[in-house]
């Protein structure tokens, strides 16, 4: 099936792309939404502009849609982007990286239904610990580009998801109910290498922005 | 052993509609076997203590065109739970009629009486384009225009239009317990 992937550049959308290819689907395009609203309910915002470099490394065209990020306007912008992808790339369906968010998944399901597209959520309800272990096993190199919950601090920014990280996040889950895969928006990620990339991305600049007591964002420049 | 019957046409949709059920049933310590609806063998049915029929994606109606694959349900004596598309398949075998009825997202059901451990008001997740009219010989457990939860009056055949693998995992665990008692 010819598919378009809703793509933020974080671990979930990149892994959903990887799984789709494993199942024999053709990835015709990536669809990225640039939201001005950093608190967006629908889209992960950090590092989203770097998705163009990821797309180029995957040799897949990327369709960019900008949105002001007002709650329901975001959906209109998302619908427009998916419609454009359907017309331009003749996709039959859309893939998302949704794991637990019924809010996100049901809205995308409605848009796909309205546009006559098949909706795939290959990570839906996936066990979060197994998922992180799969990412490491499948040679995904992922860094944290944002942390937004207690007890995270600046030291977590830029860290790689590896075995040590998984052990520590499991402890935080037990102690502070932090979702292991960051599904509660506790942390956000950016994929710098994975089997889909023709070459690893090179992080050349880093700037950490403090947004609150336990809230930090990383601005990276990649080449 | 619990047999999970996949109603998905697309293999990748099993990650979404079958694996989550498998994960919950496995967490009860029961063995799970997964099989496509068109590949069920008599030995699978014989070895199962209960059977769960999965849901599928909104656009997938292939299972409806192959309703003959579910005729075994007529004479099956062990517990069966149909989820969404699975409920529709049960309804068709027992002469229910399909109707267009769409709902995507969270809603609430008020159970009139206990249904696989659920009572009163419960938050549920729906993802369907069709519903099934109450088939003859079945009782409806909610007050909806079309049944959102039904059970055969004399057999342990259950159907839910909502997705308990998303919300209400305990319903699946209760079904497994019911299967073990049979």
Q: Which residue has the tokens 């989203």?
A: A48
φ, ψ dihedrals at B106, nearest 5°: -80, 145
First to last CA, chain B: 12
Domains and their CATH numbers in chain A: 2-120 (3.40.50.620), 128-222 (3.90.1490.10)
Using DSSP bridges, classify how beta strands B32-36 and B98-115 pair: parallel, antiparallel or unpaired.
unpaired
Domains and their CATH numbers in chain B: 2-181 (3.40.50.880)
* Catalytic-residue membership of B84: yes
Q: How far apart are CA A39 and CA A68, in angstroms?
A: 11
**Predicted pLDDT at A39:** 61
Indicate if ipTM > 0.85.
yes
Q: Kindly name the residue from B84, B128, B152, B174 that is annotated as catalytic.
A: B84
Mean confidence (pLDDT) of chain B = 96
CB atoms within 10 A of CB A221: 12
Residue B127: pLDDT band with limits 50, 70, 90: very high
φ, ψ dihedrals at A212, nearest 5°: 180, 180
Nearest beta carbon to residue B20 from set A109, A110, A125: A125
Which one-letter DSSP state was computed for residue B162?
S
More confident residue, B170 or A222: B170
Residue A36: pLDDT band with limits 50, 70, 90: confident
The arithmetic mean of pLDDT across residues A177-205, rounded, is: 92
Q: How far apart are CA B180 and CA B182, in angstroms?
A: 6
C-alpha closest to that of B138 among B178, B179, B88: B88
CB atoms within 10 A of CB B4: 24
- Whether residue A180 lies within 8 A of chain B, CB to CB, comes out as no
Angle at B33 between CA B103 and CA B58, to 5 degrees: 20
- Whether residue A113 lies within 8 A of chain B, CB to CB, comes out as yes
C-alpha closest to that of B88 among B115, B63, B122, B59: B63
């Amino acid at each position: 099936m010819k598919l378009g992937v809703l793509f933020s550049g974080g671990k979930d959308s990149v892994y959903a792309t990887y799984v789709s290819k494993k199942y024999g689907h053709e990835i015709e395009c990536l669809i990225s939404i640039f939201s001005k609203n950093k608190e967006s309910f629908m889209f992960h915002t950090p590092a989203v502009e770097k998705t163009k470099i990821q797309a180029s490394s995957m040799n897949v065209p990327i369709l960019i849609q900008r949105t002001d990020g007002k709650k329901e306007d975001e959906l209109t912008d998302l619908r427009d982007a998916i419609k454009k992808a359907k017309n331009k790339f003749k996709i039959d369906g859309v893939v998302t990286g949704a794991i637990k968010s019924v809010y996100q998944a049901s809205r995308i399901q409605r848009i796909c239904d309205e546009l006559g597209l098949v909706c795939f959520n290959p990570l839906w309800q996936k066990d979060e610990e197994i998922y992180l272990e799969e990412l490491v096993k499948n040679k995904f190199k992922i860094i944290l580009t944002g942390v937004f919950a207690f007890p995270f601090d600046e030291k977590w920014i830029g860290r790689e998801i590896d075995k040590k990280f998984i052990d520590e996040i499991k402890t935080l889950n037990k102690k502070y109910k932090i979702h292991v895969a960051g599904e509660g928006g506790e942390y956000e990620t950016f994929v710098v290498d994975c089997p889909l990339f023709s070459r690893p991305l090179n992080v050349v600049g880093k700037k950490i922005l403090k947004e609150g007591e336990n809230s930090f964002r990383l601005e990276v420049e990649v080449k | 052993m619990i047999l999970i019957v996949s109603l998905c046409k697309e293999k990748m949709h099993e990650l979404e509609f079958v694996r989550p059920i498998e994960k919950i049933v496995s967490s009860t310590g029961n063995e799970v076997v997964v099989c496509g609806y068109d590949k069920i063998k008599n030995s699978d049915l014989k070895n199962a203590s209960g059977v769960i029929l999965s849901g599928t994606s909104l656009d997938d109606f292939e299972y409806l065109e192959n309703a003959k694959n579910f005729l075994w349900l007529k004479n099956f004596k062990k517990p069966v739970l149909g989820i969404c598309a699975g409920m529709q398949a049960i309804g068709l075998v027992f002469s229910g009629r399909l109707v267009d009825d769409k709902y995507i997202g969270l809603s609430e059901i008020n159970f009139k009486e206990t249904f696989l451990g659920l009572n009163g008001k419960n938050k549920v997740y729906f993802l369907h384009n069709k519903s099934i009219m109450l088939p003859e010989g079945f009782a409806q457990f909610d007050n909806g225009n079309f049944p959102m939860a039904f059970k055969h009056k004399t057999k342990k055949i259950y159907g839910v239009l909502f997705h308990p693998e998303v919300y209400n995992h305990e319903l699946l665990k209760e079904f497994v317990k019911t299967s073990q008692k049979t």
